[in-house]
Structure formats: C-alpha cells, structure tokens
Amino acid sequence: MPERKTNLTSAIGWSKPDEINVHGLDLPSEILGHVNLGDMAFMQVTGRRPDARESVVFNAIAVTLVEHGITPSALVARLTYMGAPESLQAAVAAGLCGLGTVFVGSMEGAARMLYAALPPDQTGRGADLAAIAARVVAEHRAAGRIVSGLGHPVHKPEDPRTPRLFEIAAQNGKSGDYVRLIQLIQKEAEAASGKSLPINATGAIGAICCEFAFPEEIIRGFGVMTRAIGLVGHILEETRDPMAYEIWQRTEEEVLANSQN
C-alpha cells in the first residue's frame, strides 16, 4: 500500500467561489479564448502550455486520431446507441473500450518498443540506430510477435498520413532518433519478411510522442481523448442516417441463412 498522504492536493486545478485555476492559470482570463483544445490536452498531461512548434505537432497528432471511418469502435458506439439512445455517454464509452493493441492503442505499443530499444537518456549520442533496428526486428521475429506500428490492412504501400506527420514533426523540431529508428525498423522488417509493412499512423504518432518524451503509459490516452470527439460525430450521424439497425438485421439474416446450409 502507498504511504498515506498528509494532505490531499492536485496540481491540475482547483476552484474558489470567484476563481477557477487550472495548471496555475486563471481559466476565464488566461485560458478561455487563448488556448485551443489540443493545447489544453497537452497542458493537461504536461502541466504547461506547448510552445508554438509543439502546438503544431501535437495538434496534428490529435486531429489525426479523431476519425478513422467505420472502425469497430465506431460500430460499437452506433450499436450501443441504438440499444440505449437515452445514454450517449454510454455509447461513446463503449466505443472507447475498443481502443486497444490493434486500433489506436498500437501507438502505445510502438512507443514502448522504441523506448525499450533506445532509452531516452541515450538519444542524441550517436547510437547505432541501424544495429538497434536489426536487433528489434530479429527479437520480434524470434518471438513470433508483430512489430508495433507497422502494417495496415488498407493503406499500402504507404499510409498517406505518415509522411505528412513526419513532415510536420521535422518542420517543428520533433524529428530525431525515434522517428529515424522506426523508419529503420520498417526497412529491416520489410527486408526480413518480404512483405510491404508501411509505418501506419499510430506507429508514426508513437515515434513522435517519444520525441516529446511523453510517458509510454499515457500515450494511448491521446487516442482516448480525441476519439471521443469522433464517436460523438458518429452518433450524431446515426441519429440522422442510421445504419446500426440494418447491421444488426443483416447479421441476423446471414447467420440464419448460413446455419441452415
């Protein structure tokens, strides 16, 4: 058990009858109208406002994660809303529960892999990144594990989001050893497997998050923050042009038809 705290406190925020303080800033006068949503998310995690270049990169990451189309999380949100239209928040929560090692959460896996291969205190010291990449791929192949952040079921031979994310990162001082390392890992993995294994968007985001030195355990949270926005949009569309009921009915019909064959 952790040691009992003498005083309960939080550095994130507090309120008084006439004041709301968030990360040391007055919410009405210093945040509202001055801080955009992406910068607020950055500040919530780091405790400080991003500088101008950090803001560009982090907002690009956030926008990338908002919408991925009719993914399992969007389908679950729509189906849950069909069953419980009185609870929008439950539908959003149901969709968020699907953000794991396959969808969105893979950026956490990519970051964990990169941090393990190249600890933060070893960056910028001329490490042999090619040798590290070869070792990472060899270890994954020996263990029968997929390499996090590589491959995409639709986007081949390149995920169109990845070069743009890397371009934005490079333009704003967030393209260093980790971005280079995942690029080398991709080349090594493709050579070893003989398959097309593009760096997907979450792999690119995982590498860029390492350039920020974000803790690996919070990186999936960026997807949770932003995908909630996307799921609200899907639920609104569901109210206007529903598909959940038909998905349910067509699934029932096919299951019945196939069970009678």
69 in a domain, yes or no? no
In a domain, 144, yes or no: yes
What does the alpha-carbon distance between residue 105 and residue 230 come to, in Å, rounded to a whole number? 16
Work out how many domains the chain is built from and give that number.
2
Q: Does 229 map to a domain?
A: no
Domain assignment present for residue 200? The answer is yes
| Residue 260 pLDDT | 80
Q: Give the model's pLDDT for residue 102.
A: 79
pLDDT value at 261 more than 80: no
Q: What is the mean pLDDT of residues 42-67?
A: 97
Asked if the model's pLDDT at residue 241 lies above 80, the reply is: yes
pLDDT of res. 19: 95
Residue 59 lies in a domain: no
Q: Are residues 20 and 110 in the same domain?
A: no
Quote the percentage of the chain above a pLDDT of 70: 100
Bridge partners of residue 199, in order along the sequence: 150
Q: Per-residue pLDDT averaged across 133-139, rounded?
A: 97
Residues 35 and 131 in one domain: no
Give per-residue pLDDT as tens, 17-39.
999 999 999 999 999 999 999 99
Token reading at 138: 């060899």
pLDDT at 111 over 80: yes
Residue 69 reports pLDDT greater than 80: yes
Whether 124 and 202 map to the same domain: the answer is yes
Q: How does pLDDT run across 173-197, given as a tens digit for each residue?
A: 999 999 999 999 999 999 999 999 9
Which CATH number do you get for residue 139? Answer: 1.10.230.10
Does any domain span residue 4?
yes
Q: Is residue 57 part of a domain?
A: no
Residues 115 and 201 in one domain: yes
Residue 104 has pLDDT above 90, yes or no: no
Report if residue 143 sits inside a domain. yes
Point out the domain boundary residue: 49, 65, 88.
49
Which ranges of 99-215 would DSSP assign to H, the alpha helix?
A: 106-117, 129-143, 161-171, 177-193, 201-212
33 lies in the same domain as 128: no
What is the pLDDT at residue 47? 94
Is there a single domain that holds both residue 45 and residue 110?
A: no
Q: Are the C-beta atoms of residues 95 and 76 closer than 8 Å to each other?
A: yes
Full residue range of the structural domain in which residue 13 is found: 1-49
Q: Is the pLDDT of residue 77 over 90?
A: yes
Q: Is 114 in the same domain as 198?
A: yes
Kindly state whether residues 15 and 110 are assigned to the same domain.
Answer: no
Q: Which 8-state DSSP code applies to residue 22? A: E
